[in-house]
Structure 1
Amino acid sequence: MTTIYLSSTDLKINSVSIEFPISINTLKKCLDDNYRTIKGKSNTVFTWDELGLLGYSKNGELIESLSLELEPETYDFSSKNKFSGKCYFNDQEITNYYKTHKEERVALFKGDDSGALALNDICAWFNVDEEETIKTIEISTYKPYVRWQGIPDDKYSIKPLEEEEITFVDFGFKLSIIEELMYMKGLLEPKFDIYEFADWYRDRKIDIDEEGYEPIAEVVQYFKDLPIPKRLATKITDIYQDGGNDIYMNLSPFSGGGEDDWDMETAVDAKQFPNLKKATLCYAKDCVYDEFEKMGIEAESL
């Protein structure tokens, strides 16, 4: 029977200490040579049907990960039997440890809901279905997931302008201007993306799936703090509010916001936009329409 131990000191298969990547010859000694080989476009899979175990290799010689098939799939490389051995993590049966130590699970990639158990540079990732049945355990080198990796450190940092900026009285009005300059005309950068911002933000994990039904506080603050150059004021000829505007979908992805969140309470900021001729509104107090009209700006409800 195959016995695998993951401990704070090493990884052992049948009492033999191993390190990734593992040569196929080493696994022959740890396991047996009763395996078949399936070569694909991107990797080679070594399948031990009797043991219920798979080995994945990029070059066909060194194995980067081992898969314990608790519920085998039906692919040509899938094992014909379930994993028949024992696997231990910190001296406890690994599936029980996984179920009773949820706080120790770590994500290995974006959207990893099942997570992995990690010890030093080795991890065991769990493939779990909707019914919480563990289908596969994949053992490999542990590479911590850094959600902001690849995003410039300062991408969403608010930087002071070295030129005159517009001062806004009304936040709802400012959001309409950002919609035009950032999303419609591409004159404000970076183009804000809530999903990228959530990955970039380091003070806490922003869970969009959970929080996206209401305005997300850090995003609201970002747009409140975002400076807009005064030289761009002449680029605005009209504003158009709609619940599906990009600005609202980035503030509250699953709702588009509501009147209390984005209502324009005054049109006084319009005085700073000399070419503004028309405002189509859906988030505005009644008095705002009159204020626009008095300034010679056509205002209508969506």
Structure 2
Amino acid sequence: MATKFLALACIRSDSYGHLSPRPHYPSMPKYPKGVSSEETSAAAESSKAKKVAVFSVVGMTCSACAGSVEKAIKRLPGIHEAAVDVLNNKAQVLFYPTFVNEERIRETIEDVGFEATLIEDEASEKSIQVCRIRITGMTCTSCSSAIEEALQAIHGVPNAQVALATEEAEIHYDPNIVSYNQLMETIEHTGFEALLISTGEDMSKIHLQVDGIRTDHSMRMIENSLQALPGVQGINMDPQVKKFSLSYKSDMTGPRNFIRVIESTGSGRFKARIFPEGGGGRESFKQEEIKQY
């Protein structure tokens, strides 16, 4: 009897000794002691920024090939979304550059057995457009943060910024993947109202209405101040409703600069706000003004 128990104990000991080791899962990066909360917050914010990379993939012959490449890419840390097109021999990847880079993705594709080449950034950047959307209903930074996170979670949106002060979202998106109407719907599903301000590939446009203007001279003075800003390509004025329509390069300037320049030009006499575009022109503006008072 004792021999049987001893044999059983040996079997159990031998079995447990050959159990597979517990898997090791990667953890989020830890910040060393002495790093300020501001630096930690900045690092956390940078980890939210997404980037789009497009690869040429040679050697795929069927959907199974595309599926194997897509699965391999998605196993990498920091991958938000990946789509492989077997017909055009391309792979488009939306990823967080804080955790993974283009070279690592390219190597992963080649490890599956296909030749991969990163398509030049210039080509991929041409597909990215910038749209600006006016958002009403935000009352605090929690509101703007919630909208920003919802937008950045959309496939085809490499970057989105929401400014509470100007009630505006600036969204970089790929129109081949997502439309600005879908971006507006996302904002509205979050619980806020959305109004398209401008959209375009190279040039953005915005309409500003300025309170406090009494003379044509004031209109010209504001026009000259705005025209001096780098990135401003053109300005049209409508004296009747004191409206300025600006065309500008979004990578050089934006609405915050315009409002700051306008209000500093008049030494506090002028107040600028976004003029709603579309939906009835002057009548639409009158209705907006009535609602505010």
TM more than 0.5: no
- Relative to the length of structure 2, the TM-score reads 0.24
Q: Which has the larger radius of gyration?
A: 1
